[in-house]
Amino acid sequence: MAPPRPSPPDAGRMWKAHGFRHFIASNELVFINFYADWCKFSNLLQPIFDEAADKVKAAFPEAGRVVMGKVDCDKEVSIATRFHISKYPTLKVIRNGQPAKKEYRGKRSVEAFVEFVQKQLEDPTKEFNDLSELKHLDTKKRIIIGFFDKKDCPEYNIFRRAASNLKDDCQFHVGFGDPVRTMHPPGEPIIVFRPDVALSNERDETFKGPLTNYDEVSVWMTERCLPLVREITFENAEELTEEGLPFLILFHRPGKDEDTVKKYKDIANGELISEKQNINFLTADGDKFAHPLHHLGKSQSDLPLIAIDSFRHMYLFPDVKLMDQPGRLKQFVQDLYSGKLHREYHYGPDPNDVLQIDGQKDPNTTPPESTFKKLGPSPNRYTLLRDEL
C-alpha cells in the first residue's frame, strides 16, 4: 500500500499560538479543525480534513482568500480556551478576522468540506436592477438592502465583508447606479434594514453611521440580523442546545398563528429583555416538533402553546392567552429559576400558576423529561469534554 501523500505546506497545516493571529488576520476565510490526538473522532477526521484542504488550496490558490488548518488543543491550550472548545473535533469558521456565530456541523467528508468552503466564498449579496424587484422580497426573512453609486467603492466593499459574516442569518440585496439613484443622495450610499414583517412588528431602519467604518457597520448589521427571538429547527437545534441556556418556546402553526408569534416577540423584546442572558427565546413549528408536544400531553390541535425546556424537564405555560397579562410570562421564567415550577410538579401546583400536564395530577409524579437535550451534540460524533446540560 502506497504511503499517504503529504499535504502542501499551507493545506491543513498545524497552527501554533505564535502564528495563529497572522493566519486569521491575513485570510478572508479560515476553516479550523480543533482536535486532540487521543480522540478517536479526531483521528478519523484528520485524513479527510487534510485531503479537503489540498483540494481547497488547488481551487483557491490566491493568497489571502482561504486557508484550512488544525489546532492540537492539548498543546495549544490558549487557543482552545479562547474559542471555548468543549468537544472534539470542533470545526470553526473565521471570516474577515471574526469567528462565525455558527460552527460547522455538517457532513464530515472531503466533498462536503469543499462544497462548504465554496459556498462560504460566494458573494453574499444579490444585485437588483430595478426598484420594483424589492416589492417581491420574502416578508418572512430579515433583509438588509444597500444602495450605492457603484460597486467599485470602499463602502460597498465594507458592506460585502460585513454581509459575508451574516449570510446565514439575513438576506442581502444591493443596487448600483441609475436604478437606485432616487434612493440616496449623490455620493452618499445608504443601507436599510427591512425586518421579517410577516412575523414581527419591527420597522424599517436606516444605518446612520459612517459606511467607511467596518466595525460600526458590522455591529449594526449583527444586531439586526440576529434577533432576540429565534426559530429552532432540526438544523440548528444542536447549536442552540450547546449554548446551555434553557428554552422558552412558542410552538405554533406556520401560516395560522402569525399574530401570536408577533405578540410573543414583542413581549420578549419588552418585559423579558432583562432575561436574555438566562434563557433562549424561541419559536418552533408545531407540526415539525410534534414529539415534544406529545411529551407534554398535547397535539397540534392545542397550538399555539408556550413551554420551558430546562434540559432536565419541560414545563407548560397555563394558557398562551395569559401572556397578554403584564408580567405573567416573566413570572413563569422566574419561577423556573426559583425552583417553583419543579416544586409544583411534586407537591401540587398553585391554581393560578402553571397548568398541570394532562394525566400527571399525582403530586408525586415527575415533570416530563426534556426532549431538546437529546438534540445536543452526540457522543457518537464527538468526544464531549463536559456535559453542561
pLDDT tens column, 259-288: 999 999 999 999 999 999 899 999 999 999
Asked whether the predicted pLDDT for residue 360 surpasses 80, the reply is no
The pTM score is: 0.77
Give me the pLDDT at residue 2, please. 41
Helix, strand, coil distribution of the chain in percent, nearest 5: 35, 20, 45
Among the listed ranges 130-134, 155-159, 203-207, 340-344, which one has the minimum average pLDDT value? 340-344
Best-predicted range by mean pLDDT among 99-103, 183-187, 208-212, 368-372? 208-212
Nearest residue to 199 (alpha-carbon basis) of 281, 133, 134, 264: 264
In CATH, the architecture of 229-383 is 3-Layer(aba) Sandwich (3.40)
β-pairing, 13-14 with 66-72? parallel
Is 90 exceeded by the pLDDT of residue 74? yes
The phi and psi torsions of 291 (rounded to 5 degrees) equal -65, -45
Q: Are the C-beta atoms of 121 and 65 separated by less than 8 Å?
A: yes
Name the residue among 156, 92, 91, 102 with its Cα closest to residue 124. 156
Distance (Å, whole) CA 176 – CA 184 = 11
> Position of cell 439613484?
181
Q: Is the pLDDT score of 373 beyond 90?
A: no
Residue 119 and residue 110: Cα distance in Å, rounded? 14
Look up residue 68 and give its three cell numbers.
484550512
Main-chain phi, psi angles of 236, to 5 degrees: -110, 5
Domain definitions of the chain by residue range: 13-120, 125-225, 229-383
Q: Which of 16-25, 34-43, 94-103, 201-210 has the lowest mean pLDDT?
A: 16-25
Give the type of residue at 260: T
Produce one character per residue of 81-94: b if its CB has 16 or more CB atoms within 10 Å, e if not: eebebbbbbbbbbb
Alpha carbons 127 and 176: distance in angstroms, whole number: 8
**Chain-wide mean pLDDT for the chain?**
88
- Tell me the CB-side half-sphere exposure of residue 237, using CA atoms within 13 A: 18
Counting other chains too, the contacts that 300-304 makes at CB distance below 8 Å and 24 or more residues apart are 300/253, 303/251, 303/252, 303/253, 303/257, 304/250, 304/251, 304/252, 304/253, 304/257, 304/260, 304/261
Mean pLDDT score, 374-388: 71
pLDDT value of residue 3: 40
Query: Quick one: pLDDT band at residue 384, thresholds 50, 70, 90?
Result: confident
- Look up residue 367 and give its three cell numbers: 415533570
Question: Mean pLDDT across the stretch 43-63?
Answer: 95
CB proximity list for 116: less than 8 A, separation 6 or greater: 31, 104, 106
Give the pLDDT confidence score for residue 17 in this predicted structure: 72
CATH assignment of 13-120, given 3.40.50.150, 1.10.150.20, 3.90.930.12, 3.40.30.10?
A: 3.40.30.10
Q: Hey, do 13-120 and 125-225 end up sharing a CATH topology, with the first three levels equal? A: yes
- pLDDT over 70 percentage in the chain: 89
CB burial class (10 A; 0-12, 13-18, 19+) of residue 324?
Answer: exposed
What residue spans of the chain are helical by DSSP H? 17-25, 40-59, 77-82, 110-120, 154-164, 214-225, 237-242, 258-269, 290-295, 328-338, 340-347
Question: Whose grid coordinates read 434553557?
Answer: 246
Query: Cβ distance 157 to 69 under 8 Å?
Result: no
- CB of 306 closer than 8 Å to CB of 329: yes
- CATH of region 125-225: 3.40.30.10
Using pLDDT thresholds of 50, 70 and 90, give the confidence band for residue 329: very high
Q: Which residues pair with 306 in a beta bridge?
A: 250
CA triplet 188, 194, 196: central angle to 5 degrees? 170
pLDDT score of 349: 59
